[in-house]
């Protein structure tokens, strides 16, 4: 069965979201689908050039930046023609809040052609993320809010990590964020010394709450008796608004020697940074966008690496695990002494932590339960390890 995986963004090797999208597509392939990915591409100046399906460009956009951005949100005719011509039966949409009348028309055409539509909402609810936008962007989101009310009779199912049976009038299936464990290297356990190393890997937004760690390290070094040196390695966007604020905070507290910004890293460079670390930092500011329950992709990647981690939200997969440390969901500085105790008083086994990810956190398992609902006669291919698992 053929599936088109639709995203309205540009995929980049070093970004976690792009990696997630590719892993999802791979999982659907393993489950028996013939998957083709449709994404947006940009030029050297980061301007949209067109929509692609695989390596084929099906919609070319203007070389004027504003016009190309508008076209990326309204041009769906050639995409629909491609879907019909290639007898695609399932369209999987990563929904990043781009609904408008043109998108609704596209969905109506898919519905008339008896094509199943899965709409994944990565974070829900999301309106609060846009409360401080400029007026022009608020108009765009107002259009989105009106347009999404049309989903009710068009979308087959909505997929979300947030508990809820119906969203925008559409039956929802709760899924967890998954990972492709084999694509992530396990950490090399660090030898005990007089240092504690924290690592945080993220796009770096205010809801990640890394400022709480900076404040906590500042408070820790203000004490007279310092038992261990503490370092915080920050990996992610090095120039966005939140990163700039963090750098200013670090500079103000004279912590540049122990809080290091690396920018985006991947592959062996990222592996080396994880091998320096004792514990990883999850999201610490989800309360700032009124989210209490979340199934963070980053938590799952930390687990696959076999490194302990801490966070403030509720993540149902990890709440009772001995390799996880919970901190309060508020704006208080992180108690670094507590983090030191967690690291020094426990013998964490990377292999054991990773095994939990292998057994519970793959995309194959998440999509299998979705496909069982959408296609009741769905059977896992004999080549899939899920089928092999069932036979054991």
d(CA 292, CA 46): 34
- pLDDT tens-digit series, residues 69-92: 899 999 999 999 999 999 999 999
Q: Are strands 195-201 and 170-174 parallel, antiparallel or unpaired?
A: unpaired
Strand, helix or coil for residue 303 = helix
- How big is the CA angle at 180 (ends 174 and 181), to the nearest 5 degrees? 115
- What fold characterizes domain 182-356? Rossmann fold (3.40.50)
Q: Do domains 2-178+362-383 and 182-356 have the same CATH topology?
A: yes
pTM beyond 0.85: the answer is: no
pLDDT average, residue stretch 13-39? 89
Comparing C-alpha atoms, which of 148, 187, 38, 307 is closest to residue 298?
307
pLDDT at 384 over 80: no
Q: What is the pLDDT averaged over residues 6-23?
A: 84
* CATH superfamily ID and name for 2-178+362-383: Glycogen Phosphorylase B; (3.40.50.2000)
- Examine the pLDDT at 258 and tell me if it is beyond 80: yes
The mean per-residue pLDDT over the stretch 162-171 comes to 87
Question: Residue ranges per domain, the chain?
Answer: 2-178+362-383, 182-356
Token duo for residue 187? 């950490």
Residue by residue, DSSP assigns 91-146 as EEEE--S---HHHHHHHHHHHHTT-EEEEEESSSS-GGGGTT--HHHHHHHHHHHH
Residue 155 to residue 95: CA distance in whole angstroms: 12
CA distances from 81 to 77, 103, 109, 222, 388 (A): 6, 14, 10, 64, 38
In this prediction, residue 390 carries a pLDDT of 46
* Closest among 4, 5, 40, 1 to 21, alpha carbons compared: 5
Question: Could you read off the pLDDT of 270-313 as tens digits, one per residue?
Answer: 999 999 999 999 999 999 988 888 888 899 999 999 999 999 99
**What pLDDT does 332 receive?**
98
Angle at Cα 116 formed by Cα 111 and Cα 120, nearest 5°? 110
pLDDT at 383: 59
Give every CB contact of residue 339 below 8 A, 6+ residues apart in sequence: 196, 198, 216, 230, 279, 310, 325
In this prediction, residue 391 carries a pLDDT of 44
pLDDT band, residue 385 (cuts 50/70/90): low
């Amino acid at each position: 069965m053929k599936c088109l995986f639709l995203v309205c963004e540009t995929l980049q090797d070093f970004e976690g979201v792009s990696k997630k999208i590719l892993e999802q597509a791979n999982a659907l392939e393993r489950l028996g689908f013939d998957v083709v990915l449709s994404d947006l591409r940009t030029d050297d100046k980061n301007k949209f050039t067109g929509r692609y399906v695989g390596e084929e460009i099906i919609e070319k956009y203007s070389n004027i930046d504003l016009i190309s951005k508008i076209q990326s949100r309204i041009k769906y005719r050639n995409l629909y023609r491609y879907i019909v011509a290639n007898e695609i039966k399932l369209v999987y949409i990563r929904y990043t809040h781009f609904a408008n009348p043109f998108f609704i028309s596209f969905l109506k055409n898919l519905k008339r052609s008896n094509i199943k539509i899965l709409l994944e909402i990565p974070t829900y609810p999301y309106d609060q993320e846009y409360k401080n936008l400029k007026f022009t962007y608020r108009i765009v989101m107002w259009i989105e809010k009106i347009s999404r009310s049309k989903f009710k009779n068009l979308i087959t199912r909505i997929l979300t990590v947030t508990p809820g049976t119906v969203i925008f009038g559409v039956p929802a299936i709760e899924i967890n964020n998954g990972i492709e464990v084999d694509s992530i290297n396990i950490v090399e356990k660090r030898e005990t010394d007089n240092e504690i190393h924290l690592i945080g890997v993220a796009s770096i937004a205010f809801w990640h709450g890394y400022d709480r760690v900076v404040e906590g390290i500042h408070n820790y070094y203000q004490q007279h008796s310092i038992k261990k040196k503490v370092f915080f390695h920050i990996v992610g966007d090095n120039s966005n608004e939140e990163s700039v604020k963090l750098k200013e905070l670090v500079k103000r507290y004279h912590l540049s020697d122990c809080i290091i910004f690396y920018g985006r890293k991947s592959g062996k460079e990222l592996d080396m940074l994880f091998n320096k670390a004792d514990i990883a930092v999850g999201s610490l500011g989800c309360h700032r966008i009124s989210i209490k329950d979340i199934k963070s992709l980053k938590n799952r990647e930390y687990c696959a690496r076999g490194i302990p981690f801490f966070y403030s939200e509720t993540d149902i997969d990890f709440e009772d695990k001995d390799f996880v440390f919970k901190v309060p969901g508020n704006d208080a500085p992180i108690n670094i002494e507590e983090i030191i105790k967690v690291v020094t008083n426990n013998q964490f086994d990377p292999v054991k932590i990773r095994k939990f990810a292998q057994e519970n956190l793959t995309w194959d398992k998440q999509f299998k339960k979705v496909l069982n609902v959408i296609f009741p006669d769905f059977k896992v291919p004999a080549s899939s390890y899920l089928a092999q698992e069932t036979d054991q």
